[in-house]
Every structure is written in structure tokens, then in C-alpha cells.
């Protein structure tokens, strides 16, 4: 469905993403992890056209390398941001409506927007200003606006950050629902390894923009290089016990 072939991104001397290749199959959940500054969010910015890059990015067989973000969104690739981005001048319902009107569907469907609001459990705040929501509310709103575009693949950037255990469980359930019930493929960047191992079908670990390991999450998390460079011995021991 989505293929990255030898993708490289440089910011001056800094190589943010180095010859990275991976592919995401339709209907799957693909995880990306790595230390801070590893280039995870940059990968999202490359896929969604926010940055230009070397190499090739394909979506459903079409070359989308260098395409502008709005065109990529209309093809069916949608995303959330690590730091919540919202429309402070709009209500929750209006914000989700923006995704529905301008996204892949290209028209406003009130029923679809209501459905998204209901799935995300945002009914009670639907007329509230987007800026008035708490962190979790803003993250859900971003997810809602992205889902309203009718994406084929959804890119989630650290959706669990700043959430407590109950919220994490609820978000995991929500992501599973989006994947299974709505048939949307998902790429998720996350630091919580437990979330990634439980949620994803394939896990990619990157450091300094370079792939360290990619494959089955259980195998990846027990890989000695991954433990050494990212997870640490403590994680490996706690996992064994």
C-alpha cells in the first residue's frame, strides 16, 4: 500500500533520514520507534509532503514523492501531529467538518462527521471551542479531523504521550477499532513499547534516521542491537521476568 524506497532527507549537514526503506501492507498496523531525534516525525513529514526528499515514496502504486500535502491528503493519507495542532477559531464539530469537506471525500457529509464524533466520544464537547479542550481532547480532535478526510492510511504521531494508563488503554482500543471496523491502515510512532508490541503487526526501529531493525514486534524488541541502542537492559530484563 505504502512503500518508501531509499528515502533520504538532509537538513544541511544533518542527515535526518538515511536511505530508509519500508512498506506498509493494507489493513495492517505498522509501528515506528526510536530515540528522540531519530527522525520518526521527519518520516511522517516526508510521507505527507511537508518536506521534499531523495528516494521514492509510493502509495497504491503511484509515485507521491514531492507531491504537496493537500494532494497527498486527498489521495487518502492522513496524519496527526506530535504537538496537537487544532483550529482555535472553530468548534470541535467544525474542525472535524473541515477534514470531511476538504479531504479525500471532497464533500461535507453530516452523518459521517457525527459518526466520527461518536466513535471518538466527543459528543459532549462537539459545540465547544477546539482551544478549550484538554490535551487528550485535542489529540482526539486531531484524530477525528484526520479520520473525517476518509483516509486509507492514518499516521499517528505519539498519540499516547501525556496520557495516563486508563487513557492509553482507551486509545489503544480506539486505534484497534479504527483499524478493524473502518478498515484503515495505521502507522504509529510511539515510545511506549508495550503499546507497540500489543498493537502493531510490524515494528521498525530507527536511530539517527537509519533502520536498525524491522519485523515482528516480539522479535524486534528482543533484538540485542535494539536493546543496546534504544530499549536498554532494564527493558529486556523486565520483559523476561
Residues that bind other proteins in the complex, under the rule CB under 8 A: 48, 50, 68-71, 73-74, 78-79, 81, 85-91, 93-94, 97-104, 106-108, 127, 142, 145-146, 148-149
CB of 230 to other proteins, least distance (A): 28
Lookup: cell for 96: 472535524
CB of 73 to other proteins, least distance (A): 4
- Which CB, 75 or 208, lies closer to other proteins? 75
CB of 49 to other proteins, least distance (A): 8
CB of 238 to other proteins, least distance (A): 37
- Which CB, 31 or 103, lies closer to other proteins? 103
CB of 109 to other proteins, least distance (A): 9
- Which CB, 90 or 208, lies closer to other proteins? 90
- Which CB, 60 or 201, lies closer to other proteins? 60
Per residue, the 3-state secondary structure of the chain, as one string, reads CEEEEEEEEEECCEEEEEEEEEEECCCCEEEEECCCCCCHHHHHHHHCCCCCCEEEEEECCEECCCCCHHHHHHHCEEECCCCCCCCCCCEHHHHHHHHHHHCCCCCCCHHHHHHHHHHCCCHHHCCCEHHHCCHHHHHHHHHHHHHHCCCCEEEEECCCCCCCHHHHHHHHHHHHHHHHCCCCEEEEECCCHHHHHHHCCEEEEEECCEEEEEECHHHHHCCHHHHHHHHCHHHHHHHHC
Q: What are phi and psi of 127, to 5 degrees?
A: -95, 0
CB of 155 to other proteins, least distance (A): 9
- Which CB, 95 or 229, lies closer to other proteins? 95
- Which CB, 150 or 193, lies closer to other proteins? 150
Amino acid at each position: 500500500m505504502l512503500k518508501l524506497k531509499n528515502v533520504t532527507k538532509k537538513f544541511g549537514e544533518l542527515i535526518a533520514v538515511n536511505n530508509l526503506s519500508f512498506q506498509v501492507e493494507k489493513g495492517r498496523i505498522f509501528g515506528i520507534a526510536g530515540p528522540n531525534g531519530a527522525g520518526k516525525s521527519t518520516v511522517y513529514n516526508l510521507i505527507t509532503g511537508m518536506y521534499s526528499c531523495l528516494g521514492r515514496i509510493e502509495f497504491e502504486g503511484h509515485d507521491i514523492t514531492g507531491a504537496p500535502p493537500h494532494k497527498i491528503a486527498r489521495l487518502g493519507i492522513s496524519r496527526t501531529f506530535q504537538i496537537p495542532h487544532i483550529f482555535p477559531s472553530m468548534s470541535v464539530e467544525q474542525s472535524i467538518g473541515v477534514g470531511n469537506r476538504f479531504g479525500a471525500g471532497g464533500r461535507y457529509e453530516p452523518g459521517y462527521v457525527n459518526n466520527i464524533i461518536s466513535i471518538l466520544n466527543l459528543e459532549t464537547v462537539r459545540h465547544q471551542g477546539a482551544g478549550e479542550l484538554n490535551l487528550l481532547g485535542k489529540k482526539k480532535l486531531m484524530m477525528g479531523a484526520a479520520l473525517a478526510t476518509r483516509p486509507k492510511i492514518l499516521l499517528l504521531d505519539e498519540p499516547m504521550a501525556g496520557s495516563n494508563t486508563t487513557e492509553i488503554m482507551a486509545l489503544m482500543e480506539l486505534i484497534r477499532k479504527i483499524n478493524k471496523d473502518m478498515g484503515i491502515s495505521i502507522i504509529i510512532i510511539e515510545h511506549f513499547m508495550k503499546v507497540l508490541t500489543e498493537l502493531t503487526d510490524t515494528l521498525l526501529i530507527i536511530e539517527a534516521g537509519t533502520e536498525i531493525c524491522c519485523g515482528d514486534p516480539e522479535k524486534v524488541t528482543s533484538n540485542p542491537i535494539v536493546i543496546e541502542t534504544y530499549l536498554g537492559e532494564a527493558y529486556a530484563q523486565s520483559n523476561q521476568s
